[in-house]
Chain A
Amino acid sequence: MRPTPDEVDRLMVQPRSQVNTRPAIRILRFDRVQRSAHWANALLFGILMTTALPLYFGSLADVVGRRHLIAQIHLWAGIALPFPMVVSLIGPWGARMRRDARRINRWSREEVRWLRTFGLTPMDLDKFSPGQKLNAIFTAGVIVVMLATGAVLQWFRFFPVTWRTGATFVHDVFAFVIFLVVFGHIAYALTHPDSMRSMIKGWVTESWAARHAAAWLKEERPEV
């Protein structure tokens, strides 16, 4: 069976590959700051989602108990949640992070069309596909919403009862959507090992970029 271009790529980047001894050209996709921010954020989401289950489902609470301890872990992970993103965006180390944030914010009309047609409109993709951009925007939005509604639940005495009920409603519904999106994100990562490697080791190969992020490659290597 013939390997896909991505698989050939992966073989080529092995230093002692039998297939091709010429190492593929690597391009930095995520620097150390971005990778740290991503994995710190992922860890906090993991803690929050894990502790959320027994807080919400009575049958799990039956098994786990210790509601107060779990609620405290959930609370402190929530308080820590904005820090990976904020710290990596501000400060002199955040230049690439800020540049990518602008990239995620501004869409060309082609990108909007690409998303509307579920990727069927061919185009030279940017560093991130419109779907990846949407995931990042969603994550930023829900961090704000979950923090705000979580604060109402925690410091409830400063808010009227209807707000508390509304905040519980929003916190629950958004949590449900977050579970769907996060599992989708992980499923995409596991089925796209080259993208996932760029979030672990930082780089992609030039040939990968040519196939999956052609517009970005032109920007990175205009001489090619």
Chain B
Amino acid sequence: MVLGGLPVQPLRPSRGRRPYAAQVVRTSKEPGGRDSGKQVAVGRRVFLGIVALGAAGVAFGAMVQDVVSNAIGSGLGGLLPGGDHFRIYTITSFYPQVSRKDYRLHVSGLVERPTTFTLDDLEAMPSVKLVKNFQCVTGWRVPDVHWEGVLLSDLLDTVGVSAGAVALSFDSYDGADSESLTLDQARLPDVIIAYRMLGAPVTTAHGGPVRLYVAPMFGYKSLKWLSAIRVVDQVEPGFWEMNGYPINGWIDGSTDATDTGRS
């Protein structure tokens, strides 16, 4: 039963040889009846090569991603796997649908003038524009996102913060998410109530019509579908903090729970 292939095996048992004798020949060989001296461990090499490629990618992937997105622009980079790419996170099974007309932001708690803002109210206030990265705590990052909105600090000045206020609690229209910032953190110059993002009104998927953007912290601090701000006398851990994320999600600093609350 030879089909004309190259005889790899020098001592192939011939037709009519007794089965016992054939087996003796066979057991001295590697699988396939081939001479082990002529074989290469291709499997191990390719396997280790794949693993090494993965390890190199972990070490240098962030750099590669930056080079790629600088070279071809973040628009094209968004199409490539691993490129600039927002992952849409939701806690609930639906997006809260709030029209621009019906949108309200309730500010209450330890404030001198509890106020409900419409979107028009917010847009009438002095606006700030930021071009900053969106960095998720799990690693993905979208560089140079354009943001526009009201400085949270300005909003606090408008309502007037009462004595004894220590922190802010944020609620979402999704009814599940919540966040917190200390008053010092909320006063930072790159913490905004955003109504424009990526050059357009904030989309529903990104938390529109109005979301929080806390530039120096990981993405989970930038609460989506912002519905209310309560000024309170102590930090109330939000949804993600209750699920084990650090209360102070500084991107450039330590993310563990012993964070000093630098501001």
- A binding-site residues for B, Cβ under 8 Å: 55-56, 58, 61-62, 65-68, 99-112, 122-127, 133-134, 136-138, 140-142, 144-145, 148-149, 152-153, 156-157, 161-170, 172-176, 210-211, 214-219, 222-224
Contacts and interface: CB of A to CB of B under 8 A. Distances in A.
Contacts of B260: none
A147 B177 CA distance: 29
Dominant secondary structure of chain A at its interface with chain B:
helix
B40 to A, nearest CB: 5
A138 B51 CA distance: 10
Contacts of B19: 222-223
Nearest to B43: A105
Given A106-B42, A107-B41, A217-B1, 14 more contacts: A102-B30, A105-B44, A106-B34, A106-B39, A127-B31, A138-B46, A144-B51, A148-B54, A156-B138, A167-B61, A170-B57, A211-B3, A215-B33, A224-B1
A172 B82 contact: yes
A168 B82 contact: yes
A137 B43 contact: yes
Given A62-B205, A66-B93, A106 B255 contact: no
A54 B243 CA distance: 22
B81 A58 contact: no
B182 to A, nearest CB: 21
Interface stretch (B6-14, B100-108, B152-160, B164-172): B6-14
Interface in B176-215: 205
Interface of B: 1-9, 12-13, 15, 17, 19, 22-23, 25-26, 30-34, 36, 38-44, 46-47, 49-51, 53-55, 57-62, 64-65, 81-82, 85-95, 135, 137-141, 205, 246, 251, 255-256
Contact of A122 (B5, B65, B85, B92): B5
A134 B135 CA distance: 37
Given A109-B38, A166-B57, A222-B26, A58 B50 contact: no
Contact of B81 (A106, A142, A173): A173
Nearest to A60: B88
A70 to B, nearest CB: 10
A72 to B, nearest CB: 12
B40 A65 contact: no
Contacts of B8: 108, 110, 123-124, 215
Nearest to B36: A106
A203 B2 CA distance: 21
Given A110-B6, A176-B81, A166 B62 contact: yes
Nearest to A210: B1
Given A58-B86, A58-B205, A104-B43, A218 B58 contact: no
A67 B54 contact: no
Contacts of A68: 91
Contacts of A133: 42-43
Given A124-B6, A223-B13, A224-B1, A141 B47 contact: yes
A69 to B, nearest CB: 8
Nearest to B33: A219
A59 B139 CA distance: 21
23 contacts: A56-B85, A58-B88, A67-B88, A67-B89, A102-B31, A106-B32, A106-B39, A107-B42, A107-B43, A108-B34, A110-B8, A124-B8, A141-B47, A157-B246, A164-B139, A165-B61, A166-B58, A169-B61, A170-B54, A214-B2, A215-B9, A222-B33, A224-B1
A106 B30 CA distance: 9
Nearest to A109: B38
A152 B57 CA distance: 13
A173 B138 contact: no
Contacts of B22: 222-223
Given A106-B42, A161-B135, A170-B57, A222 B13 contact: yes
Contacts of B9: 215, 218
Contacts of B50: 137-138, 141-142, 144-145
